[in-house]
Amino acid sequence: MQLDLGLNLSTKRTRKREFLDEMNRVVPWPRLIVLIEPHYPQGKTGRPPFRFETMLRIHFLQQWFGLSDPAMEEALYDVPLYSEFAGLGSGMTPLPDESTILRFRHLLEAHGLAVQILAVINEVLCEHGLMLKNGSVVDATLISAPSSTKNASGSRDPEMHQTKKGNQWYFGMKAHIGVDAHSGLVHSVIGTAANVHDVNVAHALLHGKESDVYADAGYRGVEKRDGTDQVCWHVAMSPGRRRLLDQTDRLDAIYDRIERLKAGIRAKVEHPFRILKRQFCYNKTRYRGLRKNTAQITTILALGNLWMARKTLYAR
């Protein structure tokens, strides 16, 4: 009698397979299914719809690997690993086409489910003690948008704008985020046009339970804005002023040490941006309009929280 020892030598444990196995273990599928199920069509007439868990898994595959709707449809045919992860059988099993994938994405956007997905994931992380919520770090990053007018409308995206950073001009949007100062996990996401100043949305990034907030020099004067005076703001000294500090002077040396400590805490906010732009390759907007792109960024950062916390989730 041949024993099955669970060793499938015909399947190589590639990095992509390892990644999907890790994410499959940490994504709270049951809670997300309960969240989405009330909004999913029941399919009382016509062709039965695909299972919403299958469509959710396909949607997450798009975010992880930067696939458009047509590219996702083709990948389900070309990459058996993707079909396996989505729970689609082999052989004669029908696969979702690009229109079905697009409609599911529009369903999530119409009901604002990206923000709710982030909230559900953060609830799970809070239950594991990963978000202390007594301090936050706020920051923003520029996301470029296509500036070409060679499209159906013959114009650039009207909701995107240009701004200057340093000596370079950018056209696109900003992703503003608030992260936990201890864990670096994202708790708030807001998308605006690139020309919106960071200070204007700082108060909206706070969850209301923090006592201290850390920000870079771009947030100078934030404590004077309405809705931001309930917490203690730790804003970085301007680079020009810091360069004038005399390290041989005792008081200036203390100021420089304080700035170093604040910078060490602010560094937490760079980790989600690295995951967004490097891990999941989101360097340019993929849709027209702020709402669609903000929903995608929110979903990616929610999944990024799980990626950052995966090792801790394994151990508990």
pLDDT mean by block of 10 residues, the chain; 316 residues: 45 86 94 91 66 93 95 93 87 82 94 95 91 88 88 85 89 96 94 94 90 92 73 90 88 91 92 94 92 96 95 76
pTM as predicted: 0.90
- DSSP label at residue 284: B
199/213 Cα distance (integer angstroms): 13
11/26 Cα distance (integer angstroms): 23
- Which residues 6+ apart lie within 8 Å of 237 measured at CB? 217, 255, 259
Distances in Å between the alpha carbon of 130 and those of 56, 182, 290, 294? 25, 8, 30, 25
Residue 103 token pair = 């409609």
- pLDDT, residue 149, reads 81
- pLDDT, residue 89, reads 72
- pLDDT, residue 1, reads 38
47/61 Cα distance (integer angstroms): 24
> How many residues would you count in the chain?
316
